[in-house]
Amino acid sequence: METLYDIVEPIEAFAPVAWQEEWDNAGWQVAPTEPRTTPCSGVVAALDVTEEVIRQAVEAGCNLVVCHHPLFFRGVKRLVGATVQERIAAEAIRNGVAVYAAHTNLDVAPGGVSGRLAERLGLRGVEVLAPREKGVMKLVFYTPEAYVGRVREAVWEAGGGCIGRYEACSFNCEGAGTFRAAAPECRPFVGSVGELHAEREIRTEVVVPKERISAAIRALREVHPYEEPAYDLIPLALPDPRVGLGCVGELPEEVPVAEFLGRVARAIGASCLKHSPIASETVRRVAVCGGSGAEFIPEAMARGAQVYLTADLKYHDFQRAEGRITLVDGGHFETERQAVDLFCELISKKFPNFAVRRAGETGAVGYFFDGR
């Protein structure tokens, strides 16, 4: 039987936890000591984890809930049922139900929440609206000339050395490294214990996505001939064009704005839409950001969007349109509900024998997966 970790693994592969915003709390919310060895009897995927979702999981014999919004954002000082979050956590623990959240990491993932929203609206040539900065690091390591090829290959295989559509990228230069094996138990690859040694080495630099750093260092240490290989990690303030919040793209053809707004309402299942004064009679270029995206209004305008669809726009946010763009608030729930579809597809693709059943949409959208 698949374990709790097995079920979560395809979600983490699609949206690594390292991609979450600094303020976020993606990952395990409630879990047993060893999710890697705890069998999963079934999983419920939901936008929000609620008491009703926990009850649904228990009644269905499921011991895992995967949700978009984390149960906790701040530290918990006590668990006494004083808040709804405490009651949900207590109910989950009492019934042996683990809870896992993929939030802003799912938002920024390529083809994630906003990407799926753009797909629903029929946008083409989709690009990230606000690319994530500092999503890449530079790994620098030093290797004896005869071993540089195999060490470099190991780092590449672990996810390093990719720049845009190019892979196996690196910069290499020659130099001399010195060291002295100071302890009797040292087993230096070259040189002798207690003697200063100089070795001709190659300095290699590769870029590595932030979420692959641990894997790259592990690969480096496993293949490198030295007991203690020297390496540096350098944060880079470079945007990662693959990863970021929101999307911008174009419709196949220009359409009247009123017609497009009707299409939006149908696509997201909204009974109504709030919008700023119509800025143009027709629309072709559209920006979207599932959930709260008011902060990216300037980016949407800078990217030439005629309509920007997001949620949680406040009164003064609409004034920022300045007649240059039509701002549309489709609702937080409505613009993020496709997160559950993503959970469904990722898990079902990895485990096609899991039976999938759609749960009722009662504010906490969910699917039911029977893993028994």
User: Is 183 a residue whose pLDDT tops 80?
Assistant: yes
User: Is 82 a residue whose pLDDT tops 90?
Assistant: no
How would you class 209 by CB atoms within 10 Å of its CB: exposed for 0-12, middle for 13-18, buried for 19 or more? buried
Q: Are residues 140 and 234 in the same domain?
A: yes
User: Is 372 a residue whose pLDDT tops 60?
Assistant: no
pLDDT of residue 242: 81
Which of 186, 206, 238 is the last residue in one of the domains? 238
* Structural domains in the chain (count): 3
User: Is 367 a residue whose pLDDT tops 60?
Assistant: no
Q: Are residues 256 and 349 in the same domain?
A: no
User: Is 349 a residue whose pLDDT tops 60?
Assistant: yes
Which of 190, 206, 238 is the last residue in one of the domains? 238
User: Is 316 a residue whose pLDDT tops 70?
Assistant: yes
Which tokens hold the place of 187? 């087993």
CA gap 137, 106 in Å, rounded: 21
Which of 208, 238, 268 is the last residue in one of the domains? 238
Which residues, 6 or more positions from 266, have their beta carbon under 8 angstroms from its beta carbon? none
Q: State the pLDDT confidence band at 8, using cuts at 50, 70 and 90.
A: very high
pLDDT of residue 66: 95
Its pTM surpasses 0.85: no
B/e letters for 211-222, b = 16+ CB within 10 Å, e = fewer, are bbbebbbebbbe
Which residues, 6 or more positions from 143, have their beta carbon under 8 angstroms from its beta carbon? 151, 152, 201, 202, 204, 224, 225, 229
CA gap 275, 326 in Å, rounded: 7
CATH number at residue 232: 3.30.70.120
Q: State the pLDDT confidence band at 364, using cuts at 50, 70 and 90.
A: very low
Q: Once rounded to an integer, what is the mean pLDDT over residues 323-329?
A: 97
User: Is 354 a residue whose pLDDT tops 80?
Assistant: no
Which residues, 6 or more positions from 146, have their beta carbon under 8 angstroms from its beta carbon? none
Q: Are residues 342 and 330 in the same domain?
A: no
pLDDT of residue 365: 42
Handedness of CA 150, 152, 158, 163 (dihedral sign): negative
User: Is 359 a residue whose pLDDT tops 90?
Assistant: no
C-beta separation of 83 from 51 below 8 A: no
Q: State the pLDDT confidence band at 134, using cuts at 50, 70 and 90.
A: low
Q: Are residues 331 and 342 in the same domain?
A: no
Q: Are residues 219 and 249 in the same domain?
A: no
Domain membership of residue 217 as a residue range: 136-238
Q: Are residues 144 and 182 in the same domain?
A: yes
Q: State the pLDDT confidence band at 357, using cuts at 50, 70 and 90.
A: low
* Alpha-carbon distances of 177 from 140, 150, 190, 220, rounded to whole Å: 14, 19, 12, 18
Please indicate whether residue 1 or residue 234 has the higher confidence score (pLDDT). Answer: 234
Most confident by average pLDDT, 20-24, 26-30, 56-60, 360-364:
26-30
Q: Are residues 218 and 260 in the same domain?
A: no
Q: Are residues 124 and 249 in the same domain?
A: yes
Q: Once rounded to an integer, what is the mean pLDDT over residues 98-110?
A: 96
Q: Once rounded to an integer, what is the mean pLDDT over residues 111-119?
A: 97
Average pLDDT over the chain, rounded to an integer: 92
Q: Once rounded to an integer, what is the mean pLDDT over residues 96-101?
A: 97
Q: Once rounded to an integer, what is the mean pLDDT over residues 161-172?
A: 91
3-state class (DSSP) for residue 281 = coil
CA gap 36, 102 in Å, rounded: 18
Q: Once rounded to an integer, what is the mean pLDDT over residues 41-65?
A: 92
